[in-house]
């Protein structure tokens, strides 16, 4: 079966698959690094969802202080007098107005770095689809036509799905 395919088509297909794997890897790494950054920022603090407050490692509560709709974050703050008398203050904050945590209202993809990763992934998927389309035009006869057509269709659908997520449309 593989002997019926041109070597160029096989190499192009392998390259398109590599681009697909790289695009998926970028998405996974971007999500992972964003999650780790959030965990690092809030390390040692526990969020109590039902009461909508954070608890610091020393037991102080950080209550919701404000919602910044422009920056799309919720800020939680501990009382200044609690933090200023805390033995862990030097390791926690240098602020005299109390420790503050900011939590993003938007998911990873809405962040600038999320959109950057998604844009790079989209470019790689489009490049892979173009490579397969060129191969379809050049060598699209016999069984190659069906394999290449399926590859172009699949990559195009993946690219549309990624583009929809980039625009913020979550109906995927």
**Statement: residue 171 has pLDDT above 60:** no
Average pLDDT, the chain: 86
pLDDT recorded at residue 109: 63
Among 81, 107, 133, the domain boundary falls at: 107
128 and 143, same domain (yes or no): yes
**Statement: residue 103 has pLDDT above 70:** yes
| Calpha distance 124→14 (Å, rounded) | 14
Within a domain: 172? no
Within a domain: 14? yes
| Calpha distance 146→124 (Å, rounded) | 22
pLDDT recorded at residue 65: 92
Is 0.75 surpassed by the pTM of this model? no
Better-scored residue on pLDDT, 4 or 1: 4
118 and 152, same domain (yes or no): yes
How long a stretch of residues is the chain?
172
pLDDT recorded at residue 170: 46
Pick the closest to residue 65 from 39, 102, 38 (CA basis). 102
pLDDT recorded at residue 127: 96
């Amino acid at each position: 079966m593989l002997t019926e395919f041109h070597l160029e088509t096989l190499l192009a297909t392998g390259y398109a698959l590599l681009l697909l794997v790289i695009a998926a890897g970028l998405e996974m790494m971007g999500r992972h690094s964003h999650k780790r950054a959030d965990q690092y920022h809030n390390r040692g603090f526990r969020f109590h969802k039902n009461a909508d407050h954070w608890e610091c490692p020393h037991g102080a509560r950080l209550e919701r202080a404000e919602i910044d709709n422009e920056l799309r974050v919720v800020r939680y703050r501990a009382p200044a007098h609690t933090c200023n008398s805390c033995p862990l203050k030097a390791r926690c904050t240098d602020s005299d107005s109390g420790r503050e945590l900011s939590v993003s209202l938007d998911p990873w993809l809405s962040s600038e770095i999320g959109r950057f990763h998604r844009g790079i992934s989209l470019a790689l998927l489009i490049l892979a689809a173009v490579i397969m389309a060129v191969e379809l035009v050049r060598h699209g006869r016999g069984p190659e036509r069906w394999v290449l057509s399926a590859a172009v269709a699949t990559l195009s659908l993946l690219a549309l799905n990624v583009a929809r997520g980039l625009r913020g449309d979550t109906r995927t």
